[in-house]
Amino acid sequence: MSTVEPEGDASKAKCQQLLRVLGDYIDGEIDPEMCELFERHMAQCLRCQVVVDTLRKTIALYREGELVLEIPVEIREQIHKQLRKRWQEKFGSQS
């Protein structure tokens, strides 16, 4: 399958229009006419192909549920410290 980068404002508008229905497309809940339009556009638009492929991979990883990231203790402590600081700045001391 050859891919061609879209050019110009019309192509960008088409990408934006199709990306609005991306969730329905991925879920298979898009009407057949729009699905065909989406797939014809993607056959020529590398950027939209990347977006769709990335979303599909993200969903697959989420569904696998095996992706567990362990945050190092030092980073976790820094996050808590920053959150406490911002909380106190916004709401004051809760002593």
Listed by start position, the domains of the chain span 8-91
Q: What is the mean pLDDT of residues 66-83?
A: 87
pLDDT for residue 67: 63
Give Cβ neighbours of residue 54 (< 8 Å, ≥ 6 apart).
Answer: none
* Tally of CA atoms within 13 A in the half-sphere of 2 that contains its CB: 2
Q: What is the mean pLDDT of residues 13-29?
A: 88
Q: What percentage of residues in the chain have a pLDDT greater than 90? A: 45
Measured distance CA(68)–CA(58) in Å, rounded: 14
What is 8-91's CATH topology? Arc Repressor Mutant, subunit A (1.10.10)
Which tens digit of pLDDT belongs to each residue from 34-62? 999 889 999 999 999 999 999 999 888 88
Question: Which of 93, 24, 17 has its CA nearest to residue 9?
Answer: 17
Measured distance CA(81)–CA(88) in Å, rounded: 11
